Structure 1
Amino acid sequence: MKVPALNIDIEVVYALPEKQIVRQMNLPEGTTAEQAVKLSGILPQFPEIDLLKNRLGVYGKLVPPATILCNRDRVEIYRPLRVDPKENRRKRAKSR
């Protein structure tokens, strides 16, 4: 007798300054963060996302793309920083 595969409910999120995209999905148990992003349909909509450059997180904690997701995880696609925070602080301190 074959045991039915379990599914998990997850969200994939990509936030831009002007809006946030949230995709709620029901995927097979054992799905990775990278697979979830690819299955979400967000990549064709936002060609600037490069999974080799953009980092992924689950509830604000950075995770490797191969991380196996759990039920109710929220996968976040992070945009690269425009300015290095340390350099930005140095500039502000210098101007004072």
Structure 2
Amino acid sequence: MNALNSSAETLQTHVPVAKVWVAYASEQQQFHVDVLFESGMTVLDAIQKSGIDALTTLPEPLNVGIFGVKVNDLNQVLNVGDRVEIYRALTINPKDIRRKRAKANPSSKYCRSNRFKQLN
């Protein structure tokens, strides 16, 4: 009888649990929280159950996606294993970053690149 009870206990501890993940990256910190999945769970439900809004200030309005695909409706139903991503506005324009990088490492007809300098 004891052998049956112990095997039943080990089976219960290794049962896979259905989850969804909620991810958000603020300027200072990244958050990746798993939430137990419930049938009919929406994007907004997952964000609220994750508790990320208590840990940091979320942007308004919420721009979210599931695995990198933008979602316009916060009431969209999730599937098991989905990752909800909360997006924030860019702090620096990507064009400005490229301009700074090009200025620091010039490569043109009259100016040799840093790669040429390293080879010689």
Normalised by the length of structure 1, the TM-score is 0.70
Matched ranges for 1:1-80 at <5 A:
8-47=18-57, 49-50=58-59, 52-64=60-72, 65-80=74-89
Runs (4 or more) in structure 1 with deviation over 2 Å come to 16-19, 81-86
Determine what percentage of the aligned residue pairs are the same residue. 30
Deviations 1:14-73 (A, max 9, x none): 1134432111111311111111101110001112x14x4230100001013111000000
Structure 2 spans left out of the alignment, 5+ residues? 1-16, 104-120
Q: Which residue of 1 aligns with 2:12?
A: none
Structure 1, unmatched stretches of 5+, are 1-6
The TM-score with structure 2 as length reference comes to 0.58
- Greater RCO, CA 8 A, separation 6+: 1
Partner Cα distance (1:23, 1:55) in 2: 17
The structure carrying a bigger strand percent of its residues is 1
Aligned residues: 85
CA-atom RMSD in angstroms: 2.6
3-state SS, counterpart of residue 43 of structure 1: helix
